[in-house]
Amino acid sequence: MKYRIWHKYFLGYFTIVILVALEINVFGYRNMQRRVMTRHTDTLYEEAMLISDQYRESYIEAGVTKEEFMEQMQMVSVLLDAQILLCNREGELIAVAEASGIRKYPAEDSQATLNLQTLRADILEETVIKNLTLEGITGKPSLAVVEPMIIETRIHGYLIICQPMEAALSEARRQVLTANINSGAILIGVACLLGFLIHYHKKNITKLIKGAIAYTDGEFAYEMDVKGKDEYRELGNSIHYLAEQHSNLVNYQKNFIANISHDFRSPLTSIKGYAAAMKDGTIPYEIQGKYLDIILFETERLSNLTNDLLDLSNFENKGVRLDFSKFDVTKMLRQSAMTFEGKCSQKNLKIRLVFAENEIMVYADRGKIQQVVHNLIDNAIKFSHEDSIIEVTARLQRDKVMISVKDHGIGIPREAISKVWERFYKTDLSRGKDKKGTGLGLAITKQIIAAHNENIKVISTEGVGTEFVFSLALAE
C-alpha cells in the first residue's frame, strides 16, 4: 500500500487527538480530582477553624444558647452543602446541623447517646478523612475535616464538617468536560487548518511531480506554475532551472557529437581519398609528395584533437593535477615565443615581448602554464592579419603577475565573447580561418587557470584585435 504524505499528516493528527484525550480524561482527571479535593479540604478546614473560634467566643464566652449556635451552624451547612457534627470530647454526638434542619442527640424520645468512635474508632484522631461513612448520619461517602474545640488548652469537644465526595468529584468532572470542549474546539480548528495545509501541499507537490515527469519526457518548456513565495516555489524554480540546464546539456551533447563528427570526418575523408587515389594510380608518383603533406597535416589535426579530448576528459574526471614549483615566467615566455618563429615567418608576424622586470618568479605548474601560453599565442597567430605584431607582456600588480597575449587581427564579435570558452566553439563556423584548430584550446586554458585559483579574461573588438589576460601568483 502506498502511503502519501497527507496520510502521515492524518495519522499524526489522530495520534495527537488520542494523546490529548488520554491526557485530559485519564491523567488530567486524576490531577483535577486531586486539586479539587485539596481545595475543598482547605475550604472545609478554614470553616472548621472559624466555627471553632466562634464556638469559644459566642457559645462559651458570650453566652449564646446552644440552639442559637446550632442555627448559625445550619446556615453555614447550607452555604457549604455539608453536614456539621458537634460532639463532646468523649466523642458523644451532641447535634448535627444540615440543610434540612438540626438533629439533637440524644433524641427527645430516647436517653441513649451515640458515640462516633463506635462507628469509626479513629475518627477523632484524624484531621482529614476521605470517603467517610457514618451509618444513620451521613447518607453518602463524605470528605470530612475534624477540628478540636480548645478553650484554655482544654478540649471541650470536636467539630466535624462532612461534605459529600460527589460534590468534589462532580466539580472535577465539570472541569474535565470544559477542558474537553475547549480542546475539541481547538482540535477542530487545527483540523481545518491541517486540511487547508494538506490541500495546499498536495496541490503544489502534484504540480512538482507533473513538472518533473514532463521534464523527464523531454518537455522542457513545461511551466509548473507553483504559486506562493515559499520553498515550493523555490523548489519549482530549481527544478525548472535544472531542466533548462539539462536541455542545454542535451543541445550541447548534440553539438558536441556534430562537431566531433565534423572534425574527425573531414580529415579522415581527405586521408582516405588521397591514399586511395595514390594506391590506384589516380595521383601520379611524381606529385604524391604534395598529397602526402596533406595527409600528414590532417593526421596532425586528428592527433591534436585526440590529445585535447583526452586532456579535457582527464580534467573533468580527475581534476587538473598540478605540480607547483617556482620558475621564471619571463624565461618561459621567451621560450614559448621562439617555438612559433616558423609560423610567424609564414605570415610575416612579429612577437614583441614586454616585461616589467627581466626576471619574475611565480609559483605555478610550469608545464600547464606553458600549455596555456602556447594555446593563446597559437590562437593569436591564426587570427592575426599579415605583417602585424603580437604583444606578449608580463606586468606586476600587487602580489600577482598579469600575463597578456594581444593580437591585431580579426577580433571576436561582441555576442561571441562569452562563448569562446565553450568546447568546439569557433567564431568562424566555416572553419575557413582555423582549419587546424580543435576548438578545445580555450576550454582547456580556462580549466588550467581555474585550477590555479586564478582568473583569465578576454578583451576584443571586432576588426581590431583580441587580448587574453590571466593572472599568476608571485613566488614568495
439 and 344 in a single domain? The answer is: yes
18 and 160 in a single domain? The answer is: yes
98 and 151 in a single domain? The answer is: yes
Identify the pLDDT of residue 396: 94
303 and 351 in a single domain? The answer is: no
Identify the pLDDT of residue 333: 94
Q: How many domains does the chain have?
A: 3
**Tens digits of residue pLDDT in 232-268:** 778 777 777 787 777 777 776 676 666 667 667 767 8
CATH number assigned to the domain comprising residue 391: 3.30.565.10
287 and 236 in a single domain? The answer is: yes
CATH number assigned to the domain comprising residue 91: 3.30.450.20
Residue-averaged pLDDT of the chain: 83
Residue range(s) defining the domain that contains residue 345: 321-473
Identify the pLDDT of residue 455: 94
148 and 18 in a single domain? The answer is: yes
301 and 333 in a single domain? The answer is: no
342 and 293 in a single domain? The answer is: no
239 and 326 in a single domain? The answer is: no
17 and 138 in a single domain? The answer is: yes
Entry pTM: 0.47
Q: What is the pLDDT along the chain (476 residues), one digit of tens a residue?
A: 456 777 777 888 888 989 888 888 888 888 888 898 989 899 898 988 888 777 666 665 555 667 777 788 888 888 888 999 988 888 898 888 888 888 888 866 666 788 888 888 888 988 999 999 888 888 789 999 999 988 777 888 898 999 998 888 888 889 889 988 999 899 899 889 888 888 888 888 888 888 888 878 777 777 777 777 777 778 777 777 787 777 777 776 676 666 667 667 767 887 888 888 888 888 888 888 888 887 887 787 677 667 766 766 665 555 567 889 999 999 999 998 988 888 898 899 999 999 999 999 999 999 889 889 988 998 899 899 999 999 999 999 989 999 999 999 999 888 888 888 876 665 554 334 444 455 677 887 888 898 899 999 999 999 899 999 999 999 98
Question: Where does residue 430 rank: exposed (0-12), middle (13-18), buried (19+ CB within 10 A)?
Answer: exposed
Cα(400)–Cα(469) distance, rounded to whole angstroms? 12
Q: Which of 170, 195, 210 is the last residue of a domain?
A: 170
CATH number assigned to the domain comprising residue 269: 1.10.287.130
